[in-house]
Structure 1
């Protein structure tokens, strides 16, 4: 079946008169990488995580260039031509965006986001901690995802709950602190918006790759990280209140987050493609 897949992909590449292949990895990329190289076509693979996926580790040495979202990923890829380009974000993140939510300008804002699927365990912790954060003067925007059966269980004048929010650029630009999973896309947005964060890596991510992503932010001083299995409501309450009472620490974390941002990532990738393919 491997030969069949390679033959099918090779025929597609030849019939389409492709000049090269750009991939972001995943098991489906393997045959495309091999077929392209057998045809002498350049291949660029973009790896957004700090721990490269298996396809990147296995087939990366065959590629013309490995484009890295995290500079630290390089140590897991001893072979191959590597370049740090970051991970592109939507253009809205690169400009100041108005936040169209009824939040006073002079209050600290905590944004809770569980990633594309939400995070019920994190949601439960946040609702337990919220009263103490309200007492500290904070407002909370809580993006619960669509699968939390208790999403509507907390009501408070300083609390806004919704499954998702379309203008994440505006929300993170306004936030004083984010509580988040540690997917590569979310961390890229946090770095671009210079948002300090408490990260709770998704414990069931493949090869625990979110923990590696989070470690890059912790090492830079841009975030705190806690394992979900070890995090209690008391610990989370205390850490958040301490940060809210320490604006100088939040400012330092914001500056460190900015140091991780590659705001011209899309341009770097486009230049790489032009150099190798066009």
Structure 2
């Protein structure tokens, strides 16, 4: 029937970096009939809105080496491919969208085996192994950073940026923060992405007293795995495991100290927040360092290896920036220049073009 909505299966699982861009895309396709593909007991069971039915499969990544566990994982992969094929056929889906990770393999293989188009979004500057392997199989690969294209020479690449949650684009989110921070003080925001960053937390707690003496307030989002949580007390220090209203907080901050996951960087750019980046040293193939390099080359951030950073050097670098408002203003301007605020619209247009072709 002419009025039957197009059915799209979104395969996105695990971390906010995989889920938030997929949710932003789904919100840009209100006329589509969308269902979700995820993994039991992962973040999608909490974050995926109720209007998107959630299908789950048991799949995980291969570890180093080959042994009995690899055979079990291979068996789960084959079973997952069969299940996704069944979901796609019985649901009369017309296309698949994925943001990578373990779940992308079964989704891409099942879709292509049925002749269905697939759009794969890769948010990192260095595409992951899954993207590099499956990218050429896909109808199109949407990139968060232009530089990623050189690692995907056989794929059909389109740079669209990385979509952010609607709160980052909504003018109404420019409201006064619901945190007790005076309007006329410098604010330093520390966050480690959805997983937190215990090593960074430790450095920050050691360096923070000098920032307090300089008049700065610190909002510290520690994650929920920090054994030293609540060990620092100060009137200018606000510690929270998480904070949902990130857009106005990032806009209010004059400086952020952050990991360099693609999602966090996208939010920093859209909000124009200058940053000190400390790439997670154990990220797959050190991809966070590649992400950080995009921002340092643009003059939007400074980046330091965790292994080379001390509390004293972090303390001094922050104090220098707090005293240089012109440098912070230039970093903010450069961050906004590399932002793609209409990324969700561009990605939705690409999905429409591919699926409705």
- Identify unmatched segments of 5+ residues in structure 2: 1-74
Instruction: Name the structure 2 match of 1:65.
Output: 140
TM-score, normalised via structure 2 length: 0.75
Q: From 268, 272, 278, give the equivalent of 2:346.
A: 268
What is the rounded CA distance, in whole Å, between the counterparts of 2:339 and 2:83 in structure 1?
39
Describe the superposition over 1:159-193 as per-residue Cα deviations: whole angstroms up to 9, x where unpaired: 11111112111110100000011111111110110
What secondary structure sits across from 1:272 in the alignment?
A: helix
What is the rounded CA distance, in whole Å, between the counterparts of 1:54 and 1:39 in structure 2?
24
Instruction: Name the structure 2 match of 1:107.
Output: 185
Q: Does 1:207 align with 2:280?
A: no
CA drift of 1:81 comes to 1.3
Instruction: Name the structure 1 match of 2:127.
Output: 52
**Over the residues paired in the alignment, what is the CA RMSD in angstroms?**
1.5
What is the rounded CA distance, in whole Å, between the counterparts of 2:253 and 2:93 in structure 1?
44
- Give the aligned length: 278
Q: From 65, 89, 101, give the equivalent of 1:26.
A: 101
Paired residues for 1:77-156 under 5 Å: 77-94=152-169, 95=171, 96-156=174-234
Instruction: Name the structure 2 match of 1:168.
Output: 246
TM-score, normalised via structure 1 length: 0.95
What is the rounded CA distance, in whole Å, between the counterparts of 1:164 and 1:5 in structure 2?
33
CA drift of 1:137 comes to 1.4
What secondary structure sits across from 1:140 in the alignment?
A: strand
- Identify unmatched segments of 5+ residues in structure 1: none
Given that 1:133 and 1:237 are in contact with CA atoms closer than 8 Å, whether structure 2 keeps it comes out as yes
What is the rounded CA distance, in whole Å, between the counterparts of 1:58 and 1:225 in structure 2?
29
Instruction: Name the structure 1 match of 2:322.
Output: 244
What secondary structure sits across from 1:106 in the alignment?
A: coil
Paired residues for 1:249-260 under 5 Å: 249-260=327-338
Instruction: Name the structure 1 match of 2:24.
Output: none
